Amino acid sequence: MTTFTVEIHEDIVTWLKKSTRPEIVLDLPSMPKPGDKLWLKRMRGTHIVGTDRCMIMASYRVSRLRPTVRVVFGIAINHGYNESHEQDAFRERREYLPLPENIRSIRSEQE
């Protein structure tokens, strides 16, 4: 079993997740077999915003000259940033405690 790692823009990964049959053409160092692992690193500019572990379901060679393959995969587990956690945090009502007296006096001196 071989593991491949690919860096892809986060919008493309989002589009692939919504697709009924996620399929993309990639330049890989060798021909993947069904069952091989594919790590998708979601990029925003030069920063990694999340990683998804995928399993390759099928692959087809696109070019004889280059190791370009069409990969059909299934996203197995989400590792990293998840939008649902962010939404839950905004829904929760936060309680704020009053500042201690010494901090209030320091703040009033600074203003």
**Mind listing the pLDDT tens digit for each residue in 46-61?**
888 988 888 888 888 8
**Mind listing the pLDDT tens digit for each residue in 51-95?**
888 888 888 888 777 667 777 777 654 444 444 444 444 445 545
* Domain positions in the chain: 3-110
What is the overall mean pLDDT for the chain? 73
> Distance between CA 40 and CA 38 in Å, rounded?
6
pLDDT band at 14 (very low <50, low <70, confident <90, very high): confident
Predicted model pTM: 0.57
3-state SS assignment for residue 72: strand
**Which CATH number is associated with domain 3-110?**
2.30.130.30
CB contact at 8 A, 26 and 69: yes
